[in-house]
Structure 1
Amino acid sequence: MKAKKKSVLLRLLGIALSLFVLFGLSVAGGLLWWVMKKPGGTALPLDAALISLESPRGKALLASSTAKGDWPRLKRHFVPQSKRSFCGVASSTIVLNALAVRSPKITQETFFQQRGKGTVSFWKVLFTGMTLEQLAKLLQRQNIQVKHFHADRSTLKDFRTHARKVLTKERVFLVVNYARKALKQVGVGHISPIAAYHKKSDKMLVLDVASHKYPPVWVDTKMLWKAMATVDKESKRSRGWVHVGVKSLAIRKRPQKGR
């Protein structure tokens, strides 16, 4: 009798374990499907502080901007992020193709082929995205000039000066890492290139790679700065920006505050 009860108990435990494994596989499969799925959905409304490039005012700001040397190349090579966590990957492929560093063009699928030792993997980025430092390291594998700046180790004035200098040139780019919440947008950390600067209004044009959610937007420089000065929970450091260019057009990195 005891042996029979033991047999039944073992059978029930086996069934329970099988169900648990099946449940785990189902959850893992669902998560993998979600992160691999191409992002989409309805465009979200913009806060009144942001100006869509697609609006008459947004177009007028671009037309009157004198710091938009990067705009034609960025527009030509723009691609939306292909996966939910690929804002950094999409931004990287845009600027790398604008620099014409490789032929054929780099895609979000081939970007990690040049990853190299000491940089983050495709799977890590797929599930958790990338930090400012990880973005810089991945770009450095492409034999180009890359400098990254943490907002809390610099100043708003430094950022504005740097951006104006970069955006008046061609084949030199800025990619910003910021918190969406600080721009009154839905989401957490995000990465996108800067396409232009408008001096009179002191606004910068963020070429949002999550184009299924938001269009390119003009943002007050101070507002963007505050969004970059937020702390990234993974790195425990502030966000910031990355300077990308061919080595002959490099901008010398200034000493940062606190060093």
Structure 2
Amino acid sequence: MTPSSFLPVFEPGTVWLVGAGPGDPGLLTLTAVHAIGQADVILHDALIDPRILTYARPGAILENAGKRGHRPSPKQSEISDMLVDHARQGRRVLRLKGGDPFVFGRGYEEALALAKAGIGFRIVPGVSSGLATLALHGIPATSRDSNHAVILATGHLAEDKTVDWATLARTGQPLVLYMAVANLTPITTALQAGGLAADTPAIAVHRATTGAEEVITTTLAALPGLAAAGRIHSPAVIAIGAIAPLRAAIAPYLAGVGEAVR
């Protein structure tokens, strides 16, 4: 059986919302590679590894539609309009997003805009950057000896939204934070107000699967200072709680990780 025998047809005039995983091209799904090679237009996030775009076919239109904090970038409504406009011109349109498009990726917003415009679309899940980053570095999201639940939370919210961090702290479950570097001071303050001890174990992995990735083992209270000192950079995944120390027992035998550990 060849991949072409089971991969879906990318029809002209449709949009595929595709997850590109945490960055390493080796973590793309077969369907994602197929889609990239078939697309007429690829609207990609700013953090997509450039190696992934080499799978695009010659002549494909590549447009950076990434949203970066505090930098000029297209509004979400503009990105959705671009998807609709390209599809109405009969193109195969690929929206390529880091991680999974439906995990803090605004994929549902884009799917909703396409549905309202009457544009057919397909969702291609990707490896979630948060969970994959932890796994790659020997940090289990769950372990039978430490936790039976885990909370995924974003530190970057729409202007009219809030997260009740104190309530999350009181659950006693480990937290995995996405896009939180810029807001670590209010987040960690609220978590401590909710009952998490200042010395709660924490681990941060920034720039995962790139040559600049680093792992920083620390504590809850120390996170803001490390970010302010430039020790933790965005993009980063941060784990707080019982899962954070579990890496130490297996790290010396973990293959395929080239980070500098601090």
Fold-level similarity (TM above 0.5): no
TM-score normalised by structure 2 residue count: 0.28
TM-score normalised by structure 1 residue count: 0.28
Could you say which structure has the higher helix fraction?
1
